[in-house]
Structure 1
Amino acid sequence: MENKKALKLIDKILTDIEASGINTDTLIEDLKDLRSYALEQQVPLVVKVLRLTYEHIEENDSFLIPIPDDDPIEDTDVSPENNSEVDPVESLMYLISLLKDIKNKMNIMDLSDYRDALNAF
């Protein structure tokens, strides 16, 4: 994201998650605020990922999506039963950190993977 306020909010979200884990009270509002910046900048992938992320957190009180693998695996099962290896805090922090540089092709690919995993969940 290029907006300085959005970048500040990303840093705040990362700091909050690192300090207190996934605190749904403030986190969901911060993600909604961040989504409004993505709407202003007209970045549809980021808008979608942020919406899916806060809806997922609202439903599950956690973030149960694993960090995307470097090598895509055709048959990935991201069902709730298959999330024993997921570190919710680490995965969510990685997702949010991707938003700092949305011009990076690898970040866009990982955001797309998160979008697909959130849709499949």
Structure 2
Amino acid sequence: MENKAALKLIDKILKDLDKTGINTDTLISDIKELRTYALEEQIPLVVKVLRLTYEHIEENDSFLIPMLVDDEDDVVVIENEPVESLKYLIALIKNLNNKINISDLKEYRDLLNNY
């Protein structure tokens, strides 16, 4: 993302996840706010992933999508570590010029849709 406020918010979300884990009170509102920046920048994939993410957290009081790990040419799903998986997803949004980040965001989108 290009917006400095959005990047600052991403850093805040990541720090909060380190401090308090998945605290749905602030986390959901922060993700919704981050989604508004993605709407402004017209990044449909990020808009969709963020919406699916906060809806998933609202429904489950956690992030139950497993962490993605690169294994040579394939993306492999590993054991579920909710905070680490969510941190990875949020961190992907920082650099959308990286093709691997886009690919992983698409994988998260698919996992969230199929959950």
TM-score (norm 1): 0.89
Matched, 1:22 2:16: no
Structure 2 CA distance, aligned partners of 1:62 and 1:18? 14
Q: Does residue 44 of structure 2 align to residue 50 of structure 1?
A: no
| Percent of aligned pairs with the same amino acid | 70
1:120 aligns with 2:114: yes
Q: Residues of 2 paired with 1:7 and 1:98: CA distance? A: 11
- Output the CA distance in 2 between the equivalents of 1:102 and 1:58: 26
Quote how far apart the aligned CAs of 1:114 are. 0.2
Residue aligning to 1:102: 96
Match runs of 1:66-77 below 5 Å: 66-70=66-70, 71-72=74-75
The aligned residue for residue 60 of structure 2 is: 60
User: Match of 1:87, as an amino acid?
Assistant: E
- Structure 1: which 5+ residue stretches go unaligned? 77-82
Q: What is the total number of aligned residue pairs between the two structures?
A: 112
Name the counterpart of 1:79. Answer: none
Match in the other structure for 1:11? 11
The alpha carbon displacement at 1:43 in A equals 0.2
Structure with a larger share of its residues in strand = 2
Provide the aligned C-alpha RMSD in A: 1.4
Where structure 2 has 5 or more consecutive residues not aligned to the other structure, the ranges are none
**CA-to-aligned-CA distance 1:45-78 (integer Å, 9 cap, x gap):** 00000000000000000000012232246xx7xx
With normalisation by structure 2, the TM-score equals 0.93
Q: Whose relative contact order is higher, 1 or 2, with alpha carbons under 8 Å and at least 6 apart?
A: 1
| Ranges of 4+ aligned residues in structure 1 off by more than 6 Å | none
Match of 1:35 in 2: 35
Give the partner amino acid of 2:80.
V
